[in-house]
């Protein structure tokens, strides 16, 4: 056995240490202050306790502010929460407490000391627990680890009345140690790792909510209370997180969708949208905009909704995607499955547009001269999702993809990817999204196509990514090794919204698989059959979800060109109604969607009501305005009033209501005329 351990430090230097040297020893050998700040070490990327001996490899000393420390802070906080709960309510059983996105939870079983009946936690308990956690953190007891024989662990937890922990001990595989982590006298069964002491958790944490949770997620088991918490390295980060949460709640598109009367869902149609007039107007505005952006480059097509199962077998979906598919038969065949006279064919609702587009490409012989062929479809697709996963417009079972497939030659692949990129970035910009991340996902372990094919595609896409990066400062790029689709590498486009949340929307995927499965080919210069490269691309992704993102991004204050009702003309007195009608008609003639409000109500009442439904502009007309042929303009979310002449108002509102792509064309035309 080797008597020394060789460690490579982040600066590349290599040093030897005696066997048995711990992470803390290594930190101390660098500096006392580093050892004090250290919370753990990573050996070859795996985080371990400071007290554990180090082994050969690369070492990184982790301090509280390292991103890797965040998980430790959260995990340690979960332990401290469990100690706090047991200190406050002795006899409460602790079960499991993992780290989750943004925080942690722990599941507890509390029984009332008098009645011995279930006593679930309530939100009122949370401040008490938080206060106790702060006490425990202030005690700053070290985390220490012991490995116990299995029987001892069983007995200790059984004596404490911790039946769930006994079950957990029993579930640990025989070849694994039973590890116990102490923080002072309190201890918990845990795989670790942990930081050096409870004081390192800090105070940037908050308990968020309670929820019922079955033991081991099984509804046949006991109901426990799950307490959720969030924890961060600094108070600023916690504040920022809580701010985003509060903003997200205010902006929730499900709430705004109700207030703005855009759409609804109901029990008979889980995950499928009932668009109301106003919501559908927004949907149509988005579709019309996308159509204009495709004009001249793409051919819009439309492939069937219901196709024979055999086609989905050929495409591979029936095999690897069936959990997400709806199958269809005639109702008669469902009711009479034994009726041999009846048509018993099985069809599927399309979950994707790609196989349909391959059929259109294959119809008729294609020459290399016709490539690239770019087929676009606003394709309604249905995907089966568990009902628990559905979430407003963001996660549905039926949605419209702004989908397209480019069939091209290998040589055209790079130019096509760049062309798609330009379109995606330009569309996002028109909606105000300028902070974009593009990630290239490369070959996964399970894949089709030869290595040579993957080498070529990845090389082309890496070049494309570098070109994109060099063209813009706002674009962040990255590589996700092994995350590609099984049929080819892909780009994923993620945009950042007004409150810093990231949404993955667009994709560009190179596909070696589908053209081959369907035997699609074109005739090359030498009159030989060649398999085309197929590029799948989506910009909004799901139009329903993209609208949900827009609603949340703008908090319902939609830019005038997207707003379902652009202007309400409201009168102050009935004397002005005739003039109000004239104003509304003039605005409509200028292309705007206008409603009128001539009710016998106070003007402020009217303005408040239209603010709830998020109408961006209210044009107020009173007696004075009628006499002067002027209007008084109020903007959503502002107290300011702007007076201007009617003709000025029409010109300025019509300009603002013009979609950005049309405005660009108008301006270009004007510039040409001026030149």
The residues annotated with a catalytic role in the active site are 354, 383, 401, 403, 405, 490, 536
Q: Does 376 bind Zn ion (CB under 5 A)?
A: no
Q: What residues numbered 201-240 form the site for Zn ion, per CB under 5 A?
A: none
Phi, psi of 524 (to 5 degrees): -85, -175
Q: Does 592 bind Zn ion (CB under 5 A)?
A: no
Rounded to whole angstroms, the Cα distance separating 339 from 333 reads 7
CB of 361: closest distance to Zn ion in angstroms?
A: 12
Rounded to whole angstroms, the Cα distance separating 431 from 559 reads 9
CB of 106: closest distance to Zn ion in angstroms?
A: 9
- What mask of x and - would describe binding to Zn ion in positions 181 to 200, judged by CB under 5 A? ---------x----------
Which part of the chain contacts Zn ion (CB under 5 A), choosing from 18-26, 142-150, 277-285, 531-539? 531-539
CB of 440: closest distance to Zn ion in angstroms?
A: 18
Q: CB-wise, 47 or 649, nearer to Zn ion?
A: 47
Q: Does 649 bind Zn ion (CB under 5 A)?
A: no
Q: CB-wise, 378 or 579, nearer to Zn ion?
A: 378
Residues with Cβ within 8 Å of 6's Cβ and at least 6 positions away in sequence, in order, are 14, 15, 16, 17, 56
Rounded to whole angstroms, the Cα distance separating 160 from 169 reads 14
- Residues 358/514, Cβ–Cβ less than 8 Å: yes
- Residues 169/153, Cβ–Cβ less than 8 Å: yes
Q: CB-wise, 354 or 464, nearer to Zn ion?
A: 354
Q: How many residues bind Zn ion (CB under 5 A)?
A: 3
Q: CB-wise, 253 or 545, nearer to Zn ion?
A: 545
- What mask of x and - would describe binding to Zn ion in positions 450 to 489, judged by CB under 5 A? ----------------------------------------
- Residues 253/551, Cβ–Cβ less than 8 Å: yes
Tokens describing residue 468: 């994109």
- What mask of x and - would describe binding to Zn ion in positions 149 to 188, judged by CB under 5 A? ----------------------------------------
CB of 134: closest distance to Zn ion in angstroms?
A: 20
CB of 199: closest distance to Zn ion in angstroms?
A: 18
Q: Does 381 bind Zn ion (CB under 5 A)?
A: no
In the three-class reduction of DSSP (H, G, I as helix; E, B as strand; rest coil), residue 123 is classed as helix
Residue with tokens 């701010």: 243
CB of 570: closest distance to Zn ion in angstroms?
A: 48
- Nearest-Å Rg of the Cα atoms of the chain is 31
Q: CB-wise, 150 or 476, nearer to Zn ion?
A: 150
Indicate which single residue of 132, 251, 536, 634 sits in contact with Zn ion (rule: CB under 5 A): 536
CB of 115: closest distance to Zn ion in angstroms?
A: 31
CB of 75: closest distance to Zn ion in angstroms?
A: 6
Q: Does 383 bind Zn ion (CB under 5 A)?
A: no
Rounded to whole angstroms, the Cα distance separating 128 from 126 reads 5
CA atoms within 13 A of residue 146's CA, in its CB half-sphere: 14
Angle 400-403-409 (CA atoms, 0-180°, nearest 5)? 165
How far CA 4 is from CA of 9, 44, 58, 443, in Å, comes to 16, 17, 15, 39
Q: CB-wise, 126 or 354, nearer to Zn ion?
A: 354
Q: CB-wise, 207 or 354, nearer to Zn ion?
A: 354
Q: CB-wise, 517 or 557, nearer to Zn ion?
A: 517
Crossing angle of the two packed helices 413-430 and 277-294, in degrees rounded to 10: 140
| Helices assigned H by DSSP within 590-633 | 603-612, 623-628
Closest by CA position to 38, among listed 1, 63, 74, 13: 63
DSSP state of 197: B
Q: CB-wise, 518 or 598, nearer to Zn ion?
A: 518
Tokens describing residue 553: 């991004």
Q: Which residues pair with 145 in a beta bridge?
A: 181
Q: CB-wise, 75 or 606, nearer to Zn ion?
A: 75
**259-264 own/partner pairs: CB under 8 Å, 24+ apart:** 259/556, 259/612, 259/613, 259/614, 260/551, 260/556, 260/564, 260/613, 260/614, 261/613, 262/551, 262/564, 263/393
CB of 319: closest distance to Zn ion in angstroms?
A: 17
Helix or strand holding residue 377 (H, E): strand 373-382
Rounded to whole angstroms, the Cα distance separating 213 from 106 reads 10
In the three-class reduction of DSSP (H, G, I as helix; E, B as strand; rest coil), residue 675 is classed as coil
CB of 569: closest distance to Zn ion in angstroms?
A: 45
Q: Does 278 bind Zn ion (CB under 5 A)?
A: no
- What mask of x and - would describe binding to Zn ion in positions 315 to 354, judged by CB under 5 A? ---------------------------------------x
User: Which chain residues interact with Zn ion by CB under 5 A?
Assistant: 190, 354, 536
């Amino acid at each position: 056995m080797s008597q020394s351990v060789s460690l490579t430090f982040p600066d590349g230097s290599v040093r030897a240490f005696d066997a048995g040297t711990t992470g803390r020893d290594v930190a101390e050998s660098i500096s006392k202050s580093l050892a004090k700040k250290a919370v753990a070490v990573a050996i070859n990327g795996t985080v371990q306790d400071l007290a554990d001996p180090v082994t050969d490899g690369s070492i990184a000393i982790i301090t509280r502010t390292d991103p890797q420390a965040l998980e430790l802070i959260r995990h340690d906080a979960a332990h401290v929460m469990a100690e706090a709960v047991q200190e406050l309510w002795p006899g409460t059983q602790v079960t499991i407490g993992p780290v989750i996105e943004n925080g942690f939870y722990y599941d507890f079983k509390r029984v009332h000391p008098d009645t011995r009946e279930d006593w679930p936690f309530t939100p009122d308990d949370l401040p008490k627990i938080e206060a106790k956690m702060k006490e425990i953190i202030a005690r700053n007891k070290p985390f220490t680890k012991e490995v116990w024989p299995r029987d001892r662990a069983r007995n200790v937890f059984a004596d404490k009345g911790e039946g769930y922990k006994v079950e957990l001990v029993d579930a640990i595989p025989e070849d694994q140690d039973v590890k116990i982590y102490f923080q002072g006298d309190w201890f918990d069964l845990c795989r670790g790792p942990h930081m050096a002491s409870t004081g390192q958790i800090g105070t940037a944490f908050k308990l968020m909510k309670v929820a019922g949770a079955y033991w081991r997620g099984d509804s046949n088991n006991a109901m426990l209370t799950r307490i959720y918490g969030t924890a961060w390295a600094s108070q600023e980060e916690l504040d920022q997180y809580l701010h985003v949460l509060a903003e997200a709640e205010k902006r929730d598109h499900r709430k705004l969708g109700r207030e703005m009367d855009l759409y609804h869902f109901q029990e008979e149609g889980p995950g499928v949208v009932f668009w109301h007039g106003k919501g559908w107007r927004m949907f149509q505005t988005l579709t019309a905009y996308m159509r204009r952006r495709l004009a001249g480059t793409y051919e819009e097509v439309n492939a069937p909704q219901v196709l024979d199962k055999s086609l989905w077998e050929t495409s591979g979906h029936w095999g690897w995607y069936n959990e997400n598919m709806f199958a269809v038969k005639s109702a008669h065949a469902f009711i009479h499955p034994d009726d041999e006279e009846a048509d018993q064919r099985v069809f599927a609702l399309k979950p994707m547009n790609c196989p349909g587009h391959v059929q259109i490409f294959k119809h008729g012989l294609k020459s290399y001269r016709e490539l690239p062929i770019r087929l676009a479809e606003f394709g309604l697709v249905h995907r089966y999702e568990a009902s628990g996963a559905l979430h407003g417009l963001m996660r549905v079972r039926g949605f419209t993809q702004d989908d397209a497939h480019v069939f091209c030659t290998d040589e055209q692949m790079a130019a096509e990817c760049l062309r798609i990129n330009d379109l995606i970035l330009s569309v996002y910009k028109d909606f105000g999204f300028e902070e974009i991340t593009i990630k290239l996902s490369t070959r996964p372990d399970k894949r089709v196509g030869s290595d040579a094919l993957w080498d070529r595609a990845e090389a082309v896409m890496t070049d494309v990514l570098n070109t994109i990066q060099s063209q813009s400062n706002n674009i962040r790029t990255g590589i996700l090794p092994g995350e590609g689709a099984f049929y080819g590498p892909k780009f994923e486009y993620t945009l950042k919204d007004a409150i810093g949340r990231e949404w993955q929307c667009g994709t560009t995927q190179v596909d070696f698989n589908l053209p081959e499965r369907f035997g699609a080919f074109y005739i090359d210069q030498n009159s030989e059959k060649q398999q085309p490269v197929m590029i799948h691309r989506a910009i909004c992704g799901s139009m329903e979800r993209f609208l949900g993102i827009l609603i949340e991004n703008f908090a319902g204050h939609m830019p005038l060109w997207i707003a379902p009702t652009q202007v309400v003309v409201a009168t102050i007195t009935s004397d002005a109604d005739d003039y109000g009608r004239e104003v509304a008609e003039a605005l409509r003639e200028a292309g705007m969607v206008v409603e009128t409000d001539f009710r016998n109500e106070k003007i402020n009442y009217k303005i408040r009501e239209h603010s709830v439904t998020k109408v961006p502009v209210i044009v107020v007309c009173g007696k004075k305005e009628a006499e002067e042929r002027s209007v008084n303009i109020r903007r959503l979310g502002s107290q300011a009033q702007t007076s201007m002449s009617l003709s000025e108002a029409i010109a300025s509102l019509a300009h603002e209501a013009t979609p950005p792509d049309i405005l660009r064309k108008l301006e270009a035309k004007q510039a040409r005329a001026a030149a």
